[in-house]
Amino acid sequence: MAKAFSVQATIASFGGNLLKLEHNATSTGSTMKLNLFLPAQAEKGKVPVIFYLAGLTCTGDNGAEKGFFQATASKHGIAIVYPDTSPRGLGVQGEDESWDFGTGAGFYLDATKGSYAAGYKMSSYITKELPVALYGQFENLDSSRVSIMGHSMGGHGALTLFLRNPGMYKSVSAFAPISNPKNCPWGQKAFGGYLKSEEEYDEWDATELIKKWGGDFEALIDVGDADNFYNHGQLLPENFIEAAKSKGKADKINLRMQKGYDHSYFFISTFSEDHINYHAKRLL
């Protein structure tokens, strides 16, 4: 298969390598950058893969530099993909006017509204184009053993992409996820800007999607109780738990309220080992 990615840099990290990749993505119609951590074990054989979806304003660099996932992934022999959070440079009107919409805020959905509908297709990019391209070029990524996790907007992305694509991911976890976007300011702004009708909101809202999930549901979710966004009603993890309970799907959701922790990468790095170990149990 043709090589989709150009390797901008190869950086040694925890016995493996962090690759800075760039490719022309057709689903977004833009050049997309990402980081790929390949553990040493990938030199000898197939390794499972975890996608880490970052939050508002982030790129694929934040998790790779501050999340500290490589430390634990390297012990288990797991690769980590750190995609960007939106297309960049499309020139869509309004995409750079605020930090919580447009550039850096793609919300991991497929936009249907106005000029955003052309390139803001992060759901298709993350679940279809990106993995196909990665597995084609990096043959030791095991496409049959893939999990997903994320932070804030990316935590919601992890939950929704897991719930919208049964069987695609072995496990899901989230740090401080936006859990019920149609009922919080960030989500209402994003859905209102990306989706052409309110009927579409439920298709991209984790709290609505869990109600339609068939079979067991299992997840690890950490939220800091000193997280200002949680305390201002942007995350609403309780709504997700309540919805899961209403359908008898809450027993295996481990929501941990972490005392004193905020929304930052200091919170994420503290619990990154737990999340990688959680996925490792289901991938190895």
Active site residues per annotation: 152, 227, 263
Q: How far is CA 34 from the centre of its chain?
A: 13
274 binds a copy of itself (CB under 8 A): no
* Shortest CB 15 distance to a copy of itself, Å: 7
Q: Using CA atoms, how far apart are residues 242 and 264, in angstroms rounded to an integer?
A: 26
* Shortest CB 260 distance to a copy of itself, Å: 4
257 binds a copy of itself (CB under 8 A): no
Which of 79, 159 has the CB closer to a copy of itself?
Answer: 79
Q: Are 275 and 175 in contact (CB under 8 A)?
A: yes
Phi, psi of 28 (to 5 degrees): -105, -15
Residue with tokens 């942007």: 234
Which of 39, 102 has the CB closer to a copy of itself?
Answer: 39
Q: Exactly one of 5, 18, 121, 172 binds a copy of itself (CB under 8 A); which one?
A: 18
Q: Using CA atoms, how far apart are residues 281 and 230, in angstroms rounded to an integer?
A: 29
71 binds a copy of itself (CB under 8 A): yes
Q: CA of 149: how far to CAs of 155, 194, 216, in Å?
A: 6, 23, 18
Stretch that binds a copy of itself, among 51-59, 68-76, 199-207, 212-220 (CB under 8 A): 68-76
Q: Are 236 and 190 in contact (CB under 8 A)?
A: no
Contacting residues toward a copy of itself, per CB under 8 A: 11-15, 17-18, 65-66, 68, 70-71, 224, 226, 258-262, 264-267, 269-270
